[in-house]
């Protein structure tokens, strides 16, 4: 039976991981087959501060909480069990996260964010627009600040101010009409304020004038300083308001043009866009909830991260042209025996087998991985294969929407580790699956694992999440069939992996359930198949690894009847490992006795099934 071992990461002593490991041979040193677990990411902390000890205590408390939550996540993933897809079975935080996720998706659909152009190409254009707008704003600010700067420069020069005031008095007398402004008296204070205002409005540099008395100069300077503070706001308005028409029209026209557009958009908003993934429209029915839960679980129910992943997947599917890819034909010739779906596991998940040993065929390997174009074609074929089978899944809350992956490493010593082209294609496929197909694998079983695979697994571990690695099961060559039977019924396991399922089977189907028994070491084991009426008895037997003696005979129920030898006893070696099927026609009731003699010191797994067909 498969053994369970606990692998402890030295970097995270509190975190444990349970990985099923079955009889994996080890080179040189007798080390256990342990997959290293990545240490949980540590939160970045700011340098210690003497002034804020309370902040440090809070940060340490938060860090301890994060470490505790990481340990809980690792413990949950170590004892991984597929979660329910029913919304009613979710806990409150998960329900809340699902609702928030759906709200974000609805807003994105209303705004057509899934079909909008990607942000990166538009970013430079936006920056250029900002750069163009910034100089305009700066120019306006400079124009507005000009009068103030001029005033600041003029204030310290008292002698020039005296001349300016004297000159402005002359101009006001000559330019202004008597109806609007009466001629000011020579020494009145209100007149001085008006003179300052007129000077600022007209922005003219007056010629030198007569020198007034010192007392008048001081008064005028003080009044001017006070007046300038009050007039600053009016200067800005007066400068911008009477600007020439050509400058005003461009500024006003865009605003006027945008208003009708906005009004028109509000009057008839475009309908929300429709986005489908794996044939399931988003937010259409309860099947959509099952899809969204996959993204949430892949991101530990962090809504924003799950939403970002969803948008990325939609964008990738458009870029990869998934809909067109499904219609392509003839892009994976010869690969049907490398990756294929065969049967289901005990929980009803479809089982996908990956037989890398088939790439020992040099012609097949060359046609698949010899150059970048062929590797890209292989990836397209693999995605097409995956898409077609995913669309066959049942995405209802009660249905089965995940698969079991079985990766066979038989006859591939060093193949993945030293074949550069296959290693590159494998890593690319792993990355694509993890980024764009979240939570579609219920269990990943590696069988016929050679000694070098431990090193290879460490190499590909950075491409995998902790949750994904928690689903891994490893089985060495001598435990392959036994490990598969733990998850898949023998009648569903292909005959080449120790099961009873054959392609094109006629006598037995997956509906004919097989019985499992153990043949003890150095013992004889018998099985009786009763026959109640005349007819034909068909039975099928298999001993995993064989190396036992097998024979069959018929014993009639009537007293004094003769025993018939149906199959002579013979020893079947490991090289003859296969299922034996036999048919026996009889006209009287009785029983067929199957005899198995195990002379080895190891127990053996026996599989058998039978049925009776009525005589014609």
Class of the 322-488 domain?
alpha beta
Token representation of residue 198: 């007129």
> 182 or 384: whose pLDDT is higher?
384
d(CA 203, CA 171) in angstroms, rounded, equals 13
Is the model's pLDDT at 221 over the cut of 50? no
pLDDT score, position 459:
78
For 301, what's the count of Cα atoms within 13 Å in the CB-facing half-sphere? 11
Evaluate the CA torsion angle 134, 139, 140, 144 in order and state its sign. positive
Is the model's pLDDT at 272 over the cut of 60? yes
Phi/psi for 572 (5° steps) reads: -110, 120
* Mean of pLDDT values over 546-566: 92
- Model confidence band, residue 128 (pLDDT cutoffs 50, 70, 90): very low
Token representation of residue 517: 């028994």
For the ranges 86-90, 254-258, 295-299, 430-434, the lowest mean pLDDT is seen at: 254-258
Class of the 515-614 domain?
mainly beta
pLDDT score, position 220:
43
d(CA 563, CA 592) in angstroms, rounded, equals 10
Cβ atoms within 10 A of the Cβ of 495, count?
15
> 18 or 279: whose pLDDT is higher?
279
* Residues 293, 280 contacting (CB under 8 angstroms): no
pLDDT score, position 616:
63
pLDDT score, position 35:
37
**494: which residues sit within 8 A by CB, 6+ positions away?**
342, 343, 353, 501, 502
**C-alpha to C-alpha distances, 159 to 210, 226, 391, 499, nearest whole angstrom:** 10, 18, 90, 111
> 587 or 103: whose pLDDT is higher?
103
* Residues 320, 383 contacting (CB under 8 angstroms): yes
d(CA 404, CA 109) in angstroms, rounded, equals 33
Is the model's pLDDT at 125 over the cut of 50? no
Is the model's pLDDT at 2 over the cut of 70? no
| Residue whose entry in the numeric block shows the structure tokens 């120019």 | 139
pLDDT score, position 417:
53
Element (H, E) at 96: helix 92-110
For the domain with range 82-112+272-320, which CATH number is right: 1.10.3470, 3.30.2420, 1.10.8, 1.10.3210?
A: 1.10.8
Gyration radius (Cα) of the chain, Å:
42
466 closest CA partner among 69, 4, 142: 69
Is the model's pLDDT at 367 over the cut of 60? yes
- Model confidence band, residue 270 (pLDDT cutoffs 50, 70, 90): confident
pLDDT score, position 422:
82
Most confident of 6-10, 268-272, 523-527: 523-527
pLDDT score, position 568:
94
For 327, what's the count of Cα atoms within 13 Å in the CB-facing half-sphere? 3
Most confident of 47-61, 352-366, 380-394, 453-467: 380-394
Is the model's pLDDT at 493 over the cut of 90? yes
Is the model's pLDDT at 285 over the cut of 50? yes
Is the model's pLDDT at 265 over the cut of 80? no
pLDDT score, position 294:
96
d(CA 310, CA 289) in angstroms, rounded, equals 13
DSSP 3-state of 423: helix
For the stretch 31-57, pLDDT in tens is: 333 334 344 444 333 333 334 444 444
22 closest CA partner among 499, 582, 453, 435: 453
* Residues 337, 354 contacting (CB under 8 angstroms): no
pLDDT score, position 258:
46
The two counts, helices (H) then strands (E), for the chain are: 17, 17
SS (H, E, C) 537-601: EEEEEEECCCCEEEEEEEEECCCCCCCEEEEEEEEECHHHCCCEEEEEEECCCEEEEEEEEECCC
- Residues of the chain above pLDDT 90, percent: 43
d(CA 538, CA 581) in angstroms, rounded, equals 7
Domain boundaries in the chain? 82-112+272-320, 322-488, 515-614
Exposed/middle/buried for residue 132 (C-beta within 10 Å: 0-12, 13-18, 19+): exposed
- Model confidence band, residue 188 (pLDDT cutoffs 50, 70, 90): very low
**277: which residues sit within 8 A by CB, 6+ positions away?**
291, 313, 314, 317
Most confident of 66-80, 131-145, 381-395: 381-395
**188: which residues sit within 8 A by CB, 6+ positions away?**
none
For the stretch 397-424, pLDDT in tens is: 999 999 999 999 888 745 555 678 888 8
* Residues 554, 564 contacting (CB under 8 angstroms): yes
DSSP 3-state of 241: coil
pLDDT score, position 349:
96
Is the model's pLDDT at 552 over the cut of 90? yes
Is the model's pLDDT at 1 over the cut of 60? no
What is the residue-wise DSSP string for 124-180? HHHHHHHHHHHHHHHHHHHHHHHHHHHHHHHTT-HHHHHHHHHHHHHHHHHHS-TTT
């Amino acid at each position: 039976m498969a053994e369970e071992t606990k692998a402890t990461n030295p970097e995270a002593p509190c975190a444990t991981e349970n990985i099923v490991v079955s009889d994996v041979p080890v080179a040189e040193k007798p080390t256990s087959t342990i997959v290293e677990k990545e240490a949980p990411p540590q939160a970045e902390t700011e340098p210690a501060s003497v002034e804020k000890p309370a902040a440090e205590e809070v940060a340490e408390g938060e860090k301890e909480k994060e470490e505790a939550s990481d340990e809980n996540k690792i413990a949950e993933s170590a004892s991984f069990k597929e979660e329910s897809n029913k919304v009613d079975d979710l806990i409150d935080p998960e329900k809340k996260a699902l609702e928030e996720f759906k709200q974000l998706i609805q807003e994105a659909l209303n705004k057509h964010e899934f079909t909008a152009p990607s942000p990166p190409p538009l970013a430079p254009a936006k920056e250029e627009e900002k750069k163009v707008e910034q100089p305009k704003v700066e120019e306006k600010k400079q124009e507005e600040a000009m009068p103030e700067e001029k005033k600041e420069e003029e204030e310290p020069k008292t002698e020039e101010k005296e001349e300016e005031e004297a000159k402005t008095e002359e101009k006001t007398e000559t330019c202004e009409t008597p109806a609007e402004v009466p001629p000011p008296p020579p020494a009145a204070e209100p007149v001085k304020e008006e003179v300052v205002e007129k000077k600022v409005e007209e922005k003219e540099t007056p010629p030198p004038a007569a020198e007034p008395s010192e007392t008048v100069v001081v008064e005028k300077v003080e009044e001017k300083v006070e007046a300038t503070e009050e007039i600053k706001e009016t200067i800005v308005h007066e400068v911008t308001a009477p600007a020439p028409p050509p400058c005003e029209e461009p500024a006003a026209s865009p605003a006027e043009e945008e208003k009708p557009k906005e009004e028109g958009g509000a009057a008839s908003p475009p309908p929300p866009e429709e986005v489908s993934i794996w044939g399931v429209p988003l937010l259409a029915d309860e099947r959509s909830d099952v899809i969204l839960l996959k993204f949430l679980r892949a991101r530990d129910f962090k809504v924003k991260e799950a939403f970002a992943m969803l948008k990325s997947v939609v964008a990738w599917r458009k870029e990869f042209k998934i809909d067109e890819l499904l219609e392509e034909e003839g892009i994976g010739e010869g690969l049907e025996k490398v990756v294929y779906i065969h049967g289901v596991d005990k929980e009803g998940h479809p089982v996908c087998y990956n037989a890398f040993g088939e790439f020992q065929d040099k012609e097949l390997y060359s046609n698949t991985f010899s150059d970048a174009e062929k590797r890209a074609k292989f990836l397209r074929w693999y995605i097409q294969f995956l898409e077609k089978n995913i669309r066959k899944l049942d995405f209802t809350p009660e249905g089965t929407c995940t698969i079991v992956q079985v990766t066979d490493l038989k006859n591939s010593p060093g193949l993945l580790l030293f074949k550069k082209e296959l290693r590159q294609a494998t890593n690319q496929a792993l990355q694509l699956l993890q980024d764009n197909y979240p939570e579609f694998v219920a269990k990943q079983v590696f069988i016929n694992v050679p000694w070098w695979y431990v090193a290879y697994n460490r190499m590909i571990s950075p491409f995998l999440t902790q949750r994904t690695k928690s689903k891994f099961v490893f089985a060495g060559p001598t435990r392959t069939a036994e490990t598969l039977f733990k998850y898949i019924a023998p009648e569903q396991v292909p005959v080449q992996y120790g099961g009873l399922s054959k392609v094109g089977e006629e006598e037995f189907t997956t509906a004919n359930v097989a019985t499992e028994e153990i043949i003890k070491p150095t013992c004889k084991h018998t099985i009786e198949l009763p026959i109640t009426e005349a007819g034909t008895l068909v039975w099928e037997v298999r001993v995993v690894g064989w190396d036992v003696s097998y024979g069959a005979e018929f014993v009639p129920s009537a007293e004094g009847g003769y025993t018939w030898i149906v199959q002579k006893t013979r020893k079947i070696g490991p090289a003859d490992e296969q299922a034996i099927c036999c048919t026996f026609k009889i006209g009287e009731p009785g029983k067929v006795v199957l005899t198995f003699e195990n002379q080895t010191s190891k127990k053996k797994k026996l599989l058998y099934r039978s049925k009776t067909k009525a005589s014609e």
